[in-house]
Amino acid sequence: MPKQTFILNGKTVTVNVADNVRLLWVIRDLLGVTGPKYGCGINVCKACTSHINGRAFNPCAVRVGDIENTDHVTTIEGLPKTVGRELHPMQRAWLNRDVPQCGYCQPGQIMAAVALVKKVRREGRSITEADLDHIRNICRCGTYTRIREAILEGAQHM
């Protein structure tokens, strides 16, 4: 069985598993890192949103065999370390706004929010209402209002 190696939350990991198993299951079922959640398995709900080399992506829609040895995969568990703090400013904004209800989608929401802030910065602008309208992550508890507030607050501290 092929050996799959990549960097997960700053640490090199190696797993024996077939190429076509989606990365989400490698992370959750084989490596026991459960921050990224399953909500659909077809890259629609975005509950598993994580980062690859600093960009948002959905590991439910990536074969582990397509991940390079040098790829940095960051889940919610590894997010604080990317800024060298106990909590990322976006997580602090989430706490400050008391965003979560059931909490199931929130790791994905936060990872998407961080990537969105970085993306608009690369484009030399700040977040607009239209950017917020285009966020695809589902929150079935309907915490959208506080998510919008928290993203704007978190962006100020990133």
Asked if 116 interacts with other proteins (CB under 8 A), we say yes
Contacts to other proteins from residues 62-81, by CB under 8 A:
62-63, 66, 75-77, 80
User: Using CB under 8 A, which residues numbered 128 to 147 contact other proteins?
Assistant: 129, 132-147
- CA-nearest of 111, 144, 115, 142 to 127 is 115
Q: Does 119 bind other proteins (CB under 8 A)?
A: yes
**5, 13, 25, 152: residue in contact with other proteins (rule CB under 8 A):** 25
* Residue 24 CB neighbours (<10 A): 22
Retrieve residue 23's tokens: 């990365």
Q: Which is nearer to other proteins, 12 or 98 (CB)?
A: 98
The strand pairing partners of 7, in sequence order, are 12, 72
Q: What angle do CA 130, 50, 48 make, to 5 degrees?
A: 90
Please report how close the Cβ of residue 12 comes to other proteins at its closest, in angstroms.
Answer: 20
